[in-house]
Amino acid sequence: MPLDALRRAGRETVSGLPREFWWLWTSTLVNRLGAFVATFMALYLTLDRGYSASYAGLVASLHGLGGVISSLGAGVMTDRLGRRPTLLVAQSSTAVSVALLGFVHHPVAIAGVAFLVGMASNASRPAVQAMMADIVRPEDRVRAFSLNYWAINLGFAVSSMAAGFIAEFSYLAGFLIEAGMTMICAIVVFAKLPESKPEPLAKEAGEPAVGLGTVLRDSRFMSVVGLSFLVALVFQQGSVGLPVAMGAAGFTAADYGMAIAVNGVLIVVLQIPVTRFIQHRDPRLLLVVSSLLAGYGFGLTAFAGSVGVFALTVCVWTLAEIVNAPTQTGLVVRLSPTHGRGRYQGMYTMSWAVAGLVAPLMSGVVIDRFGAQWLWGICAVVGTAAGLGYGLLMRRLPDEEPTTGTTRTTGPTGPAAGTTRRTSPTSGPADSLRPGATAPNPAPAPAPAPATISEPVPVPAPTSSGVAVPVPLPMSVPPQAPLARPAGPGAAATEAGTPKGR
């Protein structure tokens, strides 16, 4: 019986998500399975090339700076050019720049190419998150983002182990393998993923376009970005502050490896079952609790004196990471206008990229001047502040958008190749035209009687081929626009609705 229950839970976890999501998920997994540069860049520069630790830190900072800059640019590209072109450009550029990094030897050239790698690799994140929000129903988004985050960590865990063996053979082989895997991702996107950028509704067509200024003036969203930065600053200490503190306390690199391995194992094992528990919970409570768990999980590190206790503290803040990652990403989608998702996701991605730059500086200065205990105390304070901030900010969070309205996605081979149309609150899987499906040409139906806005739009019955033919809306019924946030500076119509990458 427990085995049957486990199988049923697995089917429920993966069922109901569109085919396009799974191709995007596969692309993410393949990309992370080939990750090499982020894991072994410092060792490559210091051990293989013989550069100093200071130079390795400079290269890492330039890599992170490239990610900060590209976050906003990629968000704009995602909204203007589309999700699919942005992904193709980002992944192709990453493949070329990573391969080039393995062949350059001059320190200036290495630093410059590392900056380009950071820009290209981070540019795909706003597009991935925006596309996922486009193709997944609002009620399934937390589950979808959680599955994507699970793929990221599964790929990261496997690639980290494999990269160690590859590095013993050849660092150049590692760069070329990552370049090849990233190019495979681009091929998957080109061959299997249609463009998902929604066409603006009639009401949205007359509204001013969403620009970066609109995002910056959205006080509620920018507050979320600020709180995300605080939480990211805490989580980053697992990869920058914790190894330094353990080394200063006399622990070896192997000890740190054993402690931090708990993070990856727990995410792979618990991400899916925990998501089943939280996916319909109040996001306000989840973000408050995860922020507190993160802060106090790292705060408890001040009392750790053995590898086992360090591993227990990792368990605490890993649980916070499991809860926070999909919930935070779902909140960003919920607060983003449909036609501005790329810019909003780019700003959110930038909060993590900036935290990746600030966290190493913060941990180094605090540990050198005051000691590791102060660093962990600061983490507890920052986590508490973030939790209180979420509690105050989200008291009037807009309700999540029901699955209504009309959203159409046009693929590369024409409207019929990638069309998803929802025409009523009760529409289901039969109301979608998937890539490759062709609707028959039925006899024209008599025009429906004029309806008021309160009347439900009739749901078409499926034809003999199993594909429903959408019924045009009566002229007297305007298309239903997404739910709107409370008015504020730069507020726009909004649709209600991750160190290893979110």
| Residue with the larger pLDDT of the pair 227 and 445 | 227
Cβ contact 68:126 at 8 Å: no
Q: Which of 104-118, 272-286, 357-371 has the highest mean pLDDT?
A: 104-118
Longest CA–CA span in the chain (Å) reads: 81
Q: CA–CA separation, 208 vs 496, rounded Å?
A: 20
Task: Please compute, for residue 182, the number of CA atoms within 13 A of its CA located in the half-sphere on the CB side.
Answer: 27
Better-scored residue on pLDDT, 54 or 429: 54
List pLDDT tens digits, range 30-49: 888 777 776 677 778 877 88
Q: Which of 59, 133, 131, 125 is nearest to 90 (CA)?
A: 125
Mean pLDDT of the chain: 75
The pLDDT score that the predictor gives to residue 110 is 92
Q: What's the mean pLDDT in 89-103?
A: 92
Query: Are 299 and 376 contacting, i.e. CB atoms less than 8 angstroms apart?
Result: yes
Supply the pLDDT for residue 460. 44
Provide the pLDDT for residue 421. Answer: 35
Strand segments (E) across 40-180: none
Instruction: Give the mean model confidence (pLDDT) for residues 414-440.
Output: 36
Task: Give the pLDDT confidence of 300-332 residue by residue, as tens digits.
Answer: 999 988 989 999 999 999 999 999 988 888 888
Position 495 scores a pLDDT of 34
CA distance 303 to 87: 44
pLDDT of residue 298: 95
Residue with tokens 């192997």: 254
The total number of residues written for the chain in this structure: 502
pLDDT at 470: 42
Amino acid at 139: E
Is the pLDDT score of 455 beyond 50? no
Report yes or no: 30 and 178 within 8 Å, Cβ to Cβ. Answer: no
Q: How much is the average pLDDT of 213-217?
A: 84
Instruction: Please report, as a single letter, which amino acid is at residue 338.
Output: T
Q: What distance, in Å, lies between the first and last C-alpha atoms of the chain?
A: 36
Residue 148: exposure state from Cβ atoms within 10 A (0-12, 13-18, ≥19): buried
Q: What pLDDT is stored for residue 39 in this prediction?
A: 67
Q: How many beta carbons lie within 10 A of that of residue 149, not counting itself?
A: 24
Q: Can you tell me the distance from the alpha carbon of 359 to that of 357, in angstroms, rounded to the nearest whole number? A: 6
Tell me the per-residue pLDDT of 223-271, one tens digit each, with 9 for 90 and over. 999 999 999 999 988 877 888 888 888 888 778 878 887 888 888 888 8
Q: Which residue has the higher pLDDT, 431 or 112?
A: 112
pLDDT (mean) for 383-395 = 89
Helix, strand, or coil (residue 484): strand
Dihedrals φ, ψ of 358, to 5°? -80, -40
CA atoms within 13 A on the CB side of 311: 13
Distance CA(51)–CA(63), nearest Å, equals 17
Structure token digits, residue 265: 């194992």
State which of 95-109, 199-213, 390-404 shows the largest mean pLDDT.
95-109
